[in-house]
C-alpha cells in the first residue's frame, strides 16, 4: 500500500500506519474513540464546568478565581464567606452571593455551567435529600443530598483514570516479565512460571477485601492491590509471543550480526509481539472500570465521599423507588463501557492480519 506525502511522492505505509488508517475507517470504533478522548479530556476541566465555586468573583474592586484555582493541584482555592461579606461559617456560598448581588450591586460573579459540586450534601443550605430531577438538579439528589449529575461526571473521570493507570501498570509489568521469560527461556522461564503459578493461586478477592478492611483504601492503594494479580495474565501472552518471535529468522539474523540483547528485545521482538496485548487493551480498561464499580458497590473501594458509580449504584438499589439514582449510574456505565468495547472491536479489526496476508 502506498500513499502520497506532502511532496506528492508516493511513499510506503508502515504496518502501524496502515492499521491506524483502517481503524479510522471503522466509523463506530473511531467515533467512540474520539468521543471518549474528548470527554475524558474535558473531565479534567470539571472544576470549571461543574462546580459550586464561582469562575470569577469581582468584589470591591478585586478579582478572585476560586474555580480555576481548583484546577491547579496544591493551590488553595478556599475563600471564607466573610471575605465576600457573607455572614456564614466556613467557605463562601457563591450561589447565594450571586442572588444577593443580582439587584444592582457593583460586585458580580460568574458561576460554572452547572453550579453544584459532587461533595456538597445536606449540610449545605438549600440542599435536600432524594430530590427528583428538576431544572435545578438535573438528575436529582441522593440520600445525603448530593447532586447526582455532578457526581456522575466526577466519577467518570475517576473511573477512566483508575482503569487506564491500572491497565498501563499491568501492561508494563506483564510485558516486561512475560517478555523476559520468553526471551531468556530455560531456567529463567521455568522458575518464573512456578512463582507465577503460586502467586496466581492466592485468592485475590479475599486479599483485597481483607486489606480494604484493615487499611483505608485510597486510589493508588487500590491500583497497587489490583496490579498485584492482574499483570499475570499478560505474561502468558507475552511469553508465548516472545517464544514464537525469537525463533524466527529475523531474530537469528540480528543475533548473527552481533546485535545486543536489549536492541533485539525492544527493536525486533517487542514491536512484533504486541498485537495480542494491544487488541486486548480496551477490554482490559473495561475490566478495570467494572472492577472498581464492583468493589465500590460492595463498599471495599474508594473511601467516601469520593464520587463513584459503584457507590451510587449501591445507594440507588437501596432506594429503588427513586429511579434517578439507579438509572443514572447504570446508564453512564453502560454508555462508557459500550464506547470502549466499540473501540476494542475497531482495534481488533484493524489488527486483523487476514487482510494483509491477502494483500501480500
Partner 1 sequence: MSQKPVVEVKNLKVHFPIHGGIISKKVGTVKAVDGVSFSIGRREIVGLVGESGCGKTTVGRAMINILHHVAPDVEISGEILYHFGDETIDFGKLTSHEVRKYRSRVQMIFQDPYASLNPRMTVKQIVEEPLKLHTKKTESERRNTVINLLEKVGLQAVHADRFPHEFSGGQRQRVGIARALATNPDLIICDEPVSALDVSIQAQVINLMMDIQKEFDVSFLFIAHDLSVVEHISDQIAVMYLGNLMEFGPAKQVYHHPKHPYSTALLSAVPIPDPDKKNRKRIVLEGDVPTPINKPSGCSFRTRCPVVEESCSESTPVLEEIDLKHWVSCPIVTEKQ
List of residues contacting partner 1 (CB under 8 A): 11-12, 14-16, 184-186, 246-259, 268, 271-272, 356, 359-360
Alpha-carbon Rg for the chain in angstroms:
26
State in angstroms the smallest separation of the CB of 258 from partner 1: 3
Would you say 44 or 266 has its CB closer to partner 1? 266
State in angstroms the smallest separation of the CB of 344 from partner 1: 23
State in angstroms the smallest separation of the CB of 255 from partner 1: 5
Would you say 81 or 185 has its CB closer to partner 1? 185
Instruction: State the cell numbers at 242.
Output: 516472545
Q: Smallest Cα–Cα separation from 144: which of 299, 320, 300, 325?
A: 325
State in angstroms the smallest separation of the CB of 184 from partner 1: 8
- Distance, in Å, from the CA atom of 272 to the CA atom of 266, rounded to the nearest integer, reads 10
Would you say 2 or 76 has its CB closer to partner 1? 2
State in angstroms the smallest separation of the CB of 248 from partner 1: 5
- Distance, in Å, from the CA atom of 311 to the CA atom of 302, rounded to the nearest integer, reads 9
- Distance, in Å, from the CA atom of 47 to the CA atom of 287, rounded to the nearest integer, reads 27
State in angstroms the smallest separation of the CB of 282 from partner 1: 22
Q: Give the 3-state DSSP-derived string for 119-133, with helices as H, strands as E and coil as C.
A: CCCCCCCCCCCCCCC
Would you say 114 or 184 has its CB closer to partner 1? 184
- Distance, in Å, from the CA atom of 183 to the CA atom of 199, rounded to the nearest integer, reads 21
Would you say 18 or 58 has its CB closer to partner 1? 18
Would you say 99 or 263 has its CB closer to partner 1? 263
State in angstroms the smallest separation of the CB of 65 from partner 1: 49
Q: ω into residue 305 within 30 of 0, thus cis?
A: yes
Contact between residue 120 and residue 127 where contact means Cβ atoms under 8 Å apart? yes
Contact between residue 36 and residue 340 where contact means Cβ atoms under 8 Å apart? yes
State the burial class of residue 18 (Cβ atoms within 10 Å of its Cβ: 0-12, 13-18, 19+). Answer: middle
State in angstroms the smallest separation of the CB of 187 from partner 1: 8
State in angstroms the smallest separation of the CB of 98 from partner 1: 59
Longest dimension (CA), the chain: 84
Would you say 53 or 239 has its CB closer to partner 1? 239
Would you say 74 or 186 has its CB closer to partner 1? 186
State in angstroms the smallest separation of the CB of 270 from partner 1: 10
Which phi and psi (to 5°) does residue 8 adopt?
Answer: 70, 20
Would you say 198 or 257 has its CB closer to partner 1? 257
Contact between residue 50 and residue 117 where contact means Cβ atoms under 8 Å apart? yes
- Distance, in Å, from the CA atom of 343 to the CA atom of 289, rounded to the nearest integer, reads 15
Contact between residue 70 and residue 53 where contact means Cβ atoms under 8 Å apart? yes
Contact between residue 157 and residue 336 where contact means Cβ atoms under 8 Å apart? no
> What is the three-class DSSP state of 41?
helix
Residues 6 or more apart from 331 whose CB is under 8 A from it?
none
Would you say 8 or 321 has its CB closer to partner 1? 8
Contact between residue 32 and residue 149 where contact means Cβ atoms under 8 Å apart? no
Amino acid at each position: 500500500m502506498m500513499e502520497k506525502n506532502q511532496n506528492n511522492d508516493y511513499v510506503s505505509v508502515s504496518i502501524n500506519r496502515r492499521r491506524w488508517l483502517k481503524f479510522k475507517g471503522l466509523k463506530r470504533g473511531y467515533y467512540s474513540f474520539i468521543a471518549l478522548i474528548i470527554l475524558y479530556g474535558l473531565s479534567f476541566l470539571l472544576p470549571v464546568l461543574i462546580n459550586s465555586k464561582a469562575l470569577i468573583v469581582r468584589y470591591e474592586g478585586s478579582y478572585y478565581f476560586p474555580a480555576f484555582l481548583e484546577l491547579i493541584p496544591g493551590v488553595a482555592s478556599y475563600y471564607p464567606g466573610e471575605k465576600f461579606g457573607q455572614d456564614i461559617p466556613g467557605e463562601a456560598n457563591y450561589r447565594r452571593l450571586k442572588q444577593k448581588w443580582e439587584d444592582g450591586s457593583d460586585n458580580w460573579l460568574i458561576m460554572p455551567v452547572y453550579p453544584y459540586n459532587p461533595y456538597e450534601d445536606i449540610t449545605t443550605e438549600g440542599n435536600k435529600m432524594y430530590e427528583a430531577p428538576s431544572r435545578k438538579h438535573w438528575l436529582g439528589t441522593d440520600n445525603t443530598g448530593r447532586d447526582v449529575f455532578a457526581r456522575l461526571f466526577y466519577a467518570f473521570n475517576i473511573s477512566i483514570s483508575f482503569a487506564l493507570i491500572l491497565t498501563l501498570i499491568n501492561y508494563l509489568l506483564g510485558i516486561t516479565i512475560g517478555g523476559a521469560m520468553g526471551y531468556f527461556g530455560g531456567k529463567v522461564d521455568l522458575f518464573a512460571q512456578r512463582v507465577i503459578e503460586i502467586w496466581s493461586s492466592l485468592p485475590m478477592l479475599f486479599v483485597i477485601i481483607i486489606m480494604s478492611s484493615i487499611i483505608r483504601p485510597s486510589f493508588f492503594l487500590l491500583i497497587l492491590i489490583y496490579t498485584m494479580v492482574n499483570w499475570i495474565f499478560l505474561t502468558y501472552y507475552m511469553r508465548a509471543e516472545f517464544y514464537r518471535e525469537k525463533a524466527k529468522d529475523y531474530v537469528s539474523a540480528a543475533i548473527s550480526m552481533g546485535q545486543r540483547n536489549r536492541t533485539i528485545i525492544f527493536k525486533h521482538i517487542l514491536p512484533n509481539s504486541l498485537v495480542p496485548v494491544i487488541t486486548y487493551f480496551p477490554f482490559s480498561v473495561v475490566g478495570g472500570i467494572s472492577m472498581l464499580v464492583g468493589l465500590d458497590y460492595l463498599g471495599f473501594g474508594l473511601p467516601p465521599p469520593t464520587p463513584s458509580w459503584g457507590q451510587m449504584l449501591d445507594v440507588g438499589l437501596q432506594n429503588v423507588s427513586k429511579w434517578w439514582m439507579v438509572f443514572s449510574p447504570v446508564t453512564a456505565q453502560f454508555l462508557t463501557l459500550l464506547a470502549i468495547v466499540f473501540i476494542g472491536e475497531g482495534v481488533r479489526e484493524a489488527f486483523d492480519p487476514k487482510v494483509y496476508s491477502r494483500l501480500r
